[in-house]
Amino acid sequence: MPIEGVALPLDFMVGIPLGFYLLVVRPRRLTLLTVIPVIWAGYALSAVALGAPNAGILPLLLAGLVPVELAIAAKECAKIAKVFRSAKAASPDPMTWFRETMRYLVRKDAAASITSAELSVWYYALLSWRQKPYTLPGERTFSYHNAGGYMNMMLGLGLAFPVEIVAVHLLLAQWSVAAAVAATALSLYAAIWLAGDARARAMRPIAVGPDVVRLECGIQMEAIVPLSDIERVAFSDSDLEGIAESGRLNYGTFYRPDVWVILKRPVETRTLLGQKKALAIGVSVDDPKAFAARITEVLA
């Protein structure tokens, strides 16, 4: 057996994955699952370099490494399931379940927020229809999914999407079947994303509790604001004098909020791209005056 038939697979499938584990996975406390794609990438490189997928010691390495990979996958999947169960027991909010699970996997808040949002879209679009809105004891909730005509627009898109998807597919298919399939897949994904976000707006209401106000905007934003940090509630942008654009977060329907919660100090806000700080958070509420009155009542 040529020496390269031994050396290359050992380097690509053992040496590089081991170095990746020692230099990347272990210092950052990442899951061992991240090593498995590196091993398979090493196998692909070895097969290309040697000219065949069964050249040299590749079959022997596969026979030895596949059981190890299966054991790693089983162990890590058990840990992931445990993290998910713990998050589910600690919070009634599905987004928290996914966010805590993804934080275990990726260890970065921004990446965890993005990936958990994607998972939440599918959950709300497909699995939430028998569930009740997420509320906590002592809270009074305020809906916002109808504010600004948002839900009416979603219903209109829901009626138009099937016709548009079929028409675009048939049109593109005359030019390229692959392009038609890709456009249809992207359109279906967009439809699921919009449905998931619309459903999340109904399932994750804004709420005023005895100590905090929970501001929501579907899967896109969440802020837990202590009542002691609220300075006042405003109903128009003209009431935000003195607050720079960088200190504002606008999550109103079509960027036209009907309520601004103005804070005494910046408060951490979770967004799709991670945590941000804001002095004023704009949202839409179906009954903005009742929402403002409730905050005033609790603060009194």
Q: What is the mean pLDDT of residues 204-216?
A: 92
- The total of structural domains in the chain comes to 3
Are 46 and 107 in a shared domain?
Answer: yes
Are 150 and 181 in a shared domain?
Answer: yes
In this prediction, residue 1 carries a pLDDT of 58
Q: What is the mean pLDDT of residues 220-232?
A: 91
In this prediction, residue 205 carries a pLDDT of 93
Instruction: Check whether 6 has a pLDDT greater than 90.
Output: no
Q: What is the mean pLDDT of residues 98-121?
A: 86
In this prediction, residue 176 carries a pLDDT of 84
- Closest C-alpha to 288, from 229, 234, 243, 237: 234
Query: Encoding tokens for residue 262?
Result: 């103005």
Distance CA 226, CA 224 (A): 7
Q: Is residue 30 part of a domain?
A: yes
Q: What is the mean pLDDT of residues 161-174?
A: 82
H-helix or E-strand containing 277? strand 274-283
Range of the domain at 72: 4-126
pLDDT digits (tens, 9 = 90+) for 51-88: 888 888 888 888 888 888 899 899 999 999 999 999 99
Q: Is residue 131 part of a domain?
A: no
Are 77 and 170 in a shared domain?
Answer: no
Q: Which residue has the tokens 């999947």?
A: 77
